[in-house]
Amino acid sequence: MSDTPEFRDLVGDDLTPEEELELARVDSLLRSVPGPATEVPGSLTRAVEQIGTATPIWTRRRFLAAVALAATLAALFFGVGRWAGQGFDARATVQMTPGKNAPEARGKIELGPRDGATGNWKMRLVVDGLPHLGGTDYYVLWLAKDGQYAGACGTFNVDGRTTVEMTASYDLSEYDAWVISRAEPDAPWLLSAET
Amino acid sequence: MATAENDSRLIERVGRGDREAFEQLYKRFARPVFAMALRQLGDNGRAEDAAQETFAAVWRSAKSYKAERGTASAWLYAVARHAIIDRARQKRENAVEVPEEADTRAGPVERAEESWLTWRVHSALELLPERERVVIELAYWSGLSQTEIASYLDVPLGTVKTRTRTGLARLSGVLEEVRT
């Protein structure tokens, strides 16, 4: 191993003065910059392949951040427990469409009023036809934009027909779809609906 | 050989939702984007995230690209730089403590110029035929001698020199083309 070879060692010494000037300029440029990446990680290529398709984009960091956000929202909801035992004031209902990975699934999202003080939307999710997940697995309700994951609204598991109440603090007009998937990288969309 | 003009057409096609064009653009710029992110963030995971953000932003905003406002390479560089700065900012916000010491590195203007120059060189390398690109990368950044490169690639020494000369000449033309 040695340093970068001398210019003449690289190109030989039978160049015309014009060629030598042109190549020496590029040689000098190459010596002044760091080397390029040796290779692009396969995980990056796989993630970029999902861009623009009907699958949410997951990165390691986004996945962790989304799960943390969902856990925070869930903790907030269960901690406050304001709706426990109360009727739900649904102002709009969004029917969800099953994806090819869960053709038997059904779901709807009932949107309640937006809390004037906090800006949180109250939501009630009703799902049926999804399998119960064992161990530490669970589902996530997302908001998506341009076919990509954009924000997590909450996590849940199911046991037959299941009703889950959640909150979301997002401006819903900025998103174009609701999506349910399992909480794992590269999970396909199971149910979706336009916002 | 692909040219800067072709890159413009690719971005315009991406703006119309053309996935094939998007894949071509990714193949062409994945290494320069990832290399720049890795150099500036110093961490594989963050660099990967920034590169992914870059291509997601390209897909979302390609329709806003106007060829008359600048080269495709410059537009992509700006998109990548924005994604990388976002990642770097998050890192700073997450930092608990910043050590107080004098910054002896080049100033922001110099660093930006170096970054743009490196981007141009790396992007231009992607336009070379594989056999020439490999020889040039080995010659300039592997620390191997010409003889060692010939042995490594299992080709005669004369072939290594010919490919180096041809590659450098081609690179000169490409760098002239993408110059803003």
The kind and range of the H/E element at B80 are helix B72-94
pLDDT of residue B140: 92
The kind and range of the H/E element at B94 are helix B72-94
pLDDT of residue B180: 43
* Average of per-residue pLDDT values in chain A: 77
pLDDT of residue B159: 93
Could you say which residues of chain B have pLDDT below 50? 1-2, 4-5, 96-103, 180
Query: What does the pLDDT look like over A76-108, one tens digit per residue?
Result: 554 443 444 456 777 788 888 888 888 888 999
Stronger pLDDT, B59 or A168, i.e. the higher one: B59
Q: Which of residues 132-151 of B touch A (CB under 8 A)?
A: 136-137, 139-141, 143-146, 148
Q: Which of residues 45-74 of A touch B (CB under 8 A)?
A: 45, 47-49, 51-52, 57, 59-62
pLDDT of residue A95: 86
Predicted TM-score (pTM) of the model is 0.56
Count Cβ atoms below 10 Å from residue B102 Cβ, excluding itself. Answer: 5
Q: SS3 sequence, B27-63?
A: HHHHHHHHHHHHHHHCCHHHHHHHHHHHHHHHHHHHH
- The answer to whether B33 touches B80, Cβ cutoff 8 Å, is yes
pLDDT of residue B101: 41
pLDDT of residue A27: 93
State the angle between helix axes of B4-15 and B72-94 in degrees (0 to 180), rounded to the nearest 10.
70
Hey, of B24, B52, B115, B133, which one would you mutate to test binding to chain A, going by the most A CBs within 10 A of its CB? B52
Tokens standing for residue A40: 């692009």
3-class state of residue A138 by DSSP? coil
Distance (Å, whole) CA B136 – CA B125: 9
pLDDT at A55 over 70: no
Residue B30 vs residues A48, A99, B123: alpha-carbon distances, Å:
10, 31, 9
Distance (Å, whole) CA B100 – CA B109: 22
pLDDT of residue A160: 87
**What share of chain A in percent tops pLDDT 70?**
79
pLDDT of residue B3: 54
Fill in the amino acid letter for A36.
P
pLDDT of residue A91: 77
**What share of chain A in percent tops pLDDT 90?**
8
The minimum CA-CA distance between B170 and chain A, rounded to whole Å, is 10
pLDDT of residue A69: 63
